[in-house]
């Protein structure tokens, strides 16, 4: 799909040179999200973007309301997103645009920024990065556990990510709307004025999971590991026959008074603006209606580990082919 879209962009703009994908983003906008007039030449994470392709994965008036795309100048002045459409334009000040506020539902797009400079090719940068990692396909290895990126990538709104004075951590917000909270024994250091550590350090360390007054006695590697397992449980396991799986019984403990205080302290720091969080992540959209039980959740922990470790193994086994072809795109006809 990406290769076909790249060919279409080259054809549309009559490029006499090959384009490369600099950045790919799967973007979800929910109620309250919008963006004012801007151009794509002011995005700090893009260095050499030339063209943009916005691929719409669902439809206006069906899966979401609002979210209309507007160009400040030229035609069409307004674009109505429909599933399967792709909007292509130059990533510069000639195409200043905005997106209306989402009124309901979830607006999904796959957005790609293209460059003429091969040194900024996303595939090549990824492969270069992967070749520097000591891969291990040993099943006892935990290399498949997720490692968080720069902390400011997870803070909303982005302009507050330098001070964290307001807003919220997106990972913890998603946990919150699903009815969970992270727990750390180290949360008390937040109020220790002599401590050199802050609340963002804490969620990169081992965490446990709390729901209501229950503490799930299982240690997750970090906040991303915890969030991925929770989302896997809510989004993937309802259709699976968990009762047929053999797993250790869930060990649940009541949350003590001191633990409740630690949870409260961490929540105050990670979800500073709860009104904004509830606007961006409204109830009813994220699977919180799935009936929770700890036995099924314990099964989901094992299922997630098996699923993710298999993905990691496949990545490692394919890496030599990716390096040889200088692309992460795999043509199924040559496999």
Express each pLDDT in 74-85 by its tens digit.
888 999 999 999
- Of the residues 120, 136, 170, the one at which a domain ends: 120
Mean pLDDT of 231-240: 78
Same-domain pairing of 83 and 195: no
214 in a domain, yes or no?
Answer: yes
Kindly state whether residues 196 and 49 are assigned to the same domain.
no
Burial 283-297 (b: 16+ CB within 10 A, else e): eeebeeeeebeeebb
156 plus 83 within the same structural domain: no
Q: What is the rounded CA–CA span in Å between residue 106 and residue 104?
A: 7
Whether residues 168 and 57 share a domain: the answer is: no
Look at residue 125 and tell me if it is in a domain: no
**pLDDT of 133 higher than 50:** yes
**Do 189 and 62 reside in the same domain of the chain?**
no
Per-residue pLDDT at 132 exceeds 80: no
Which pLDDT value is given to residue 120? 84
Overall average pLDDT of the 159-166 stretch: 83
In a domain, 249, yes or no: yes
Nearest to residue 104, comparing CAs of 279, 288, 235, 231? 279
pTM of this prediction exceeds 0.85: no
Same domain for 159 and 76, yes or no, is no
Torsion of CA 119, 124, 127, 131, to 10 degrees: -40
Contact 31, 39 (CB under 8 A): no
What pLDDT score does 228 carry?
94
Exposed, middle or buried, 1 (CB in 10 Å: 0-12/13-18/19+)? Answer: exposed
| Structural domain contains residue 174 | yes
- Within-domain flag for 137: no
Does 159 lie in the same domain as 16?
A: no
**Quick check: is 222 in a domain?**
yes
Domain around 173: 151-314
Domain check: are 111 and 189 in the same one?
Answer: no
Same domain? 63 vs 177: no
- Spatial separation of the C-alpha atoms in residues 298 and 233, rounded to whole Å: 9
Q: What is the pLDDT of residue 293?
A: 85
Residues 155 and 113 grouped into a single domain: no
The contacts found for 61-65 with CB under 8 angstroms, 24 or more apart, are 63/105, 63/106, 63/107, 63/108, 64/29, 64/102, 64/103, 64/104, 64/105, 64/106, 64/107, 65/102, 65/103, 65/104, 65/105
If you average pLDDT over residues 70-76, what whole number do you get?
88
- Based on the fold, state whether residues 173 and 264 are members of the same structural domain: yes
What confidence score (pLDDT) does residue 139 get?
56
User: What is the rounded average pLDDT for all residues in the chain?
Assistant: 83
How far is Cα 79 from Cα 99, in angstroms, rounded to an integer? 10
Specify the pLDDT at position 335.
46
Question: pLDDT tens digits for 256-301?
Answer: 999 999 999 899 989 999 888 888 777 655 545 567 888 889 888 9
Q: Cα 204–290–241 angle (5° rounding)? A: 95
Mean pLDDT of 224-252: 79
In the three-class reduction of DSSP (H, G, I as helix; E, B as strand; rest coil), residue 51 is classed as strand
Token pair belonging to 9:
């962009």
Q: Is residue 156 located within the same domain as residue 70? A: no
Q: How many helices (H) and strands (E) does the chain have?
A: 8, 15
* Percent of the chain scoring above 90 in pLDDT: 30
- Asked if residue 172 belongs to a domain, the reply is yes
Q: What is the CATH number of the domain that holds 10?
A: 2.60.120.620
Q: Are 190 and 245 in contact (CB under 8 A)?
A: no
Q: For 206, phi and psi rounded to 5 degrees? A: -55, 135
pLDDT value of residue 222:
94
Judge whether 39 lies within some domain: yes
Structural domains of the chain, count: 2
Whole-number percent of the chain with pLDDT over 70: 84
């Amino acid at each position: 799909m990406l290769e076909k879209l790249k060919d279409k962009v080259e054809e549309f703009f009559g490029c006499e040179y090959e384009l490369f994908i600099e950045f790919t983003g799967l973007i979800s906008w929910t109620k309250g999200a919008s963006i004012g007039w801007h151009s794509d030449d002011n995005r700090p994470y893009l260095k050499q973007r030339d063209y943009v392709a916005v691929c719409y994965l669902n439809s206006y008036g069906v899966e979401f309301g609002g979210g209309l795309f507007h160009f400040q100048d030229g035609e069409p002045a307004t674009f109505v997103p429909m599933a399967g459409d792709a909007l292509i334009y130059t990533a510069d000040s000639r195409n200043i645009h905005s997106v209306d506020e989402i009124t309901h539902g979830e607006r999904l797009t796959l957005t790609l920024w293209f460059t003429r400079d091969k040194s900024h090719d996303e595939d090549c940068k990824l492969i270069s990065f992967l070749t520097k990692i000591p891969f291990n396909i040993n099943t006892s290895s935990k290399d498949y556990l997720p490692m968080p990126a720069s902390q400011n990538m997870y803070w909303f709104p982005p302009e507050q990510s330098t001070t964290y004075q307001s807003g919220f951590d997106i990972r913890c917000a998603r946990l919150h709307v699903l009815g969970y909270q992270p727990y750390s024994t180290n949360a008390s250091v937040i109020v220790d004025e002599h401590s050199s550590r802050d609340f963002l350090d804490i969620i990169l360390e081992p965490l446990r999971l709390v729901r209501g007054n229950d503490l799930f006695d299982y240690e997750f590697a970090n906040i991303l590991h915890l969030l991925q397992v929770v989302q896997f449980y809510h989004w993937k396991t309802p259709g699976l026959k968990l009762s047929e799986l053999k797993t250790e019984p869930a060990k649940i403990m009541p949350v003590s008074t001191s633990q409740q205080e630690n949870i409260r302290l961490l929540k105050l720091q990670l979800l500073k603006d709860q009104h904004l969080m509830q606007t961006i992540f409204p109830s009813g959209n994220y699977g919180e209606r799935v009936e929770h039980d700890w036995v099924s959740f314990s099964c989901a922990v094992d299922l997630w580990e098996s699923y993710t470790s298999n993905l990691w193994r496949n990545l490692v086994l394919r890496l030599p082919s990716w390096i040889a072809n200088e692309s992460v795109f795999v043509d199924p006809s040559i496999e």
